[in-house]
Structure 1
Amino acid sequence: MTSKRTRNWILALLFLGWSLGNLDRYIMNYAVLAITEDLNLSSSSTGILLSSFFAGYALMQMPGGWLADRFGPRKVLITAVIVWSIFTGLTAVAWSLTSMMIIRFLFGIGEGGFQPASSKILSLTFPKAERARAMSVILSSSGIVSLMIPLAAATMLETIGWRTMFVIFGVAGAVIAALYWYFIRLPEHPSEEIGVQSGQTAAAPMEKGIFKALFKTPIIWNLLVAYFSIYAINWGLSAWLPTYLVKNRGLDLISLGWVQTIPAITTIAGIFIAGYLIDKLPKGRERWLGSLSCACIGVLLYLMFTASSVAAFITYQTIVNLFIAFVVTLLPAIVLKQLPSSVTGTAMGIANTGGQLAGFITPMAIGFTIDAFNGSFDAAFWMLIVFSVICIGALLTMNDQKGELLKQNKEEAYT
């Protein structure tokens, strides 16, 4: 492992990149209010637009993870930031639904390798006992950004407009890519840095059927389903809550910005608490706490959409964010702690494909559901509740037997 100072510096840079990635994604959920008006989009078209990013993002997860394992995560990381920044800036020139969908799809392709590459870097630089906490720091960027976004989005949309806003974010991405190129230098790990040094012991399994070995590993399928389910809830809420609170609960953009700071603070706290708890949990207990959290999520979602006031709705949303934060921290921690470092890029790419497919399908499905039920969100909330039940099943049936995968990675079989 690298020195503590170097690990913390790498973690800070990764946090910065994840923050910008989350900013680029979450800001669209607010910008779409202005974009919908400018481009004259229906709820169904809006759902398709919100889903277009995730189509590209999901499509690139497995290739991105494999490329990180094969050629080294630093190269993939820098390339991902450069490409996504280009298409973030190009969002500003979209003139129709079709052009916007193409740009957002290619933006997703660009960003798709970032998450598995950065996860791979964590597995190479942090000892197993610290990986959940390191991941929680990175994941906290989501909560911090969601805390800033509502007010920042309202201010920028009403002052500089959505087109200029995306140009600024594109420039910020170019700066972060330069920081990665200059400052991130990974130590050489002959047995783990797959593809960077050919002929090493771990390279053979990576080049000869690693996808087959992973897909034969039961825990991968559980993770895939669990990722899909929890992110269906997460992205469903993130994508449509601004529209719901404005149209169905009567909030204006400024009020929306203020009330959404409360759940965002809970998310940040929940992620940090989750990272600490997961590193302390005895092996095997993770799935039970994860299942309990999913059960609480389902109950709270029901209480949210049946709430009689905005205050009650925000209260339930605040609590549900705490449990979602635990599950979204738990799942990548399972990959980092239970699978060999030599395959974490590919494994994370496979598992996260489920999450990003949910990001593609759920906003679109909610849009069509809203139109089908004449503007009502009730059926959409029931859909999210069903996903919480599916997530419970995926976690409860999780099997940590890794069979062929550990046979191919003997150096980590007993760690």
Structure 2
Amino acid sequence: MRLSDEELEALLAELESDHAERKETFKGDAREKVRQAICAFSNDLPGHGRPGVVFIGAKDNGEPAQINITDELLLSLADIRSDGKIQPIPSMTVEKRQLRGVEMAVITVLPADAPPVRYKGRIYIRTGPRRDIANAQDERILNEKRRCRDLPFDLQPVSFANLKDLHRPTFESEYLPGAFSADVLEANHRSYEERLSACRMVESVDNPLPTVLGSLVLGVRPRDLIPCAYVQFLRLEGTELDSPIIDEAVIDGRLGEILNRLDDKIKANISTKVDIRSDDLEKRRPNYPLAALQQLVRNAIMHRSYEATHAPVRISWFADRLEIINPGGPFGIVNAANFGQPGVTDYRNPHLAEAMKVLGYVQRFGVGIATARRLLAENGNPPPEFDVRETHVLVTVRETA
């Protein structure tokens, strides 16, 4: 939703508005306060259903601050969306606009489909013109707002599951410390069901059915709830699928268990070449860089379709290449033509992406393919090849020469 100049100028003048924030610059503590404001606008506690706007280059009274709106500033503001500090990923745009006769940077933030939204583990809300941290009652209101939204599949409830299907020790010892800051946890007197609901692991406190997300991240036996929640690994002696099998495995379990076991499997199959001829010092180079394969495999698990399919992510490791195939073609603004381009990203499973960030398997959003390309090039591997279809994406990575 793009607001007109007239609408933006009206917000600039409305000093008591609970969906406008004004900052003269993006320096000092303004960096922190802008992020808090984006989090609060995403939560939309009053239920306006309207965008919140952050103006950079405006004084508290709405008058222009007369600053230079550079491309560097706009990139810094846009980076807020993907740096992983606000979770789930906020829906926001960054523009340079001409308002009151001068240039300003304008961040437009849409209300989240699945609140609560957290910044550094804290849930910020807007109370009139000021920000605050949500209390228990505010959290309950935000949790309730999810019921009437058209939610993505990873937040759909699993109708035949119950709380016993979720592994509470994993939630309390592994997930919660990553999702909320230590001081929030220390002061938190919410019930187990309320905490699960705040993390979107169940539909609501009153109807605590595990969601698809909860089943994947915390399930005691995730495949009983989501049949396709596993990875099929195959190591082959030759270059064709009918080559003799060296190693095969079905890797399942909770999300963290799958990712850890995949790391172990990848490490075990990487080989290192020693070059003692081209220089006085011996050089060691793996046939594949570990971090690049991790990026591509985690990308497949994050972006695959978990809906209406029993197909797993498949990793086929041939003598000369490695293939990763994940069910589900491109999603949202991503298509076959722009797949993998820097800055072009969308999320079929946005809350699964958040969970991978909480658990420490993702540092930033939207840079996995670019990082893999860079690491492969640095190691001497050819660029990864992407075969993008409506039903799946196939990634081929070839060995170093």
Q: TM-score range by the shorter chain?
A: under 0.3
Largest Rg, 1 or 2: 2
TM-score (structure 1 length as normaliser): 0.23
- Of the two structures, which has the highest relative contact order with CA contacts closer than 8 Å and spacing of 6 or more? 1
Bigger helix fraction: 1
User: TM-score by structure 2 length?
Assistant: 0.24
Specify which structure has the higher proportion of strand: 2
